[in-house]
Amino acid sequence: MFGRRKKGSAAEDAAGEAEQVVDSVDTEADEAERVRLEPEPRPDGPWDSSEVRDPAEGRVDLGGLFVPGVDGMELRVEVAGDAIVAATVVLKDSAVQLQAFAAPKREGIWGEVREEIATGITQQGGVIDEVEGPLGWELRAQVPVQLPDGTGGFQVVRFVGVDGPRWFLRGVISGQGAVQPQAAGLLEQIFRDTVVVRGEGPMAPRDPIVLKLPDDAQMVAENVQQEEQAGSRFSGGMGQLQRGPEITEVR
């Protein structure tokens, strides 16, 4: 699915060796151009905090993210160690996990991240399809999982992502919104309407943008112990996280 151009076979003479070197250089240049493009325009979001007059209007303030609030939604936060690094919006039988990361100022990383996620899933025996969807290029994946009865199965998920100014926002859509993408319109709109607060401090690329609980959050599971972040199943530090304490925002 993510095959690279095949290099020429080893030549027996100097001309053949030179051709092989040129082919290798061209391949590396093609890859660099593909994964290091500048972020594309975002006329429909997600938004940087500098692009929105009042990020808190109609959104839940999670510090590094302002997440749109809609009727009937359940908002969960997920932890890594002592830090809140992801938020999941649940709507009926679908959900979207939102996670923001620092990124280089002039380079988008979604192309590179897509390839890493795809490689990790296929190495586990999963299936990946890269398509251009409503939110741009995305991965539609069948991820191997263990079912409650102990047998093996697959979970269908969609990985979406958008590069912003010095940040990258990733979404993981699961449930019916992944099985039937045409039914995920509201989740996609929540992703588009999310505001990212990168901050001005120095951050290494791919560092998670830390979140916080809303001031008026109501804890649903007060005795849930925070779990250590599991080793990434998909790519360096950017895979799915263990679920931590949950909050419900009443709308």
The DSSP element (H or E) to which 130 belongs, if any, is: strand 127-133
**pLDDT given for residue 213 in this prediction:** 87
The class level of CATH for 47-248 reads alpha beta
* 107-111 mean pLDDT: 90
Q: Domain residues of the chain, as ranges?
A: 1-35, 47-248
**pLDDT given for residue 33 in this prediction:** 43
Q: Mean pLDDT, the chain, as a whole number?
A: 76
Residue the block writes with tokens 């979970």? 155
- % the chain with pLDDT above 90: 53
Rounded to two decimals, the pTM is: 0.73
E strands of 33-93, at which residues? 47-48, 59-61, 65-68, 74-80, 83-91
pLDDT tier for residue 36 given thresholds of 50, 70 and 90: low
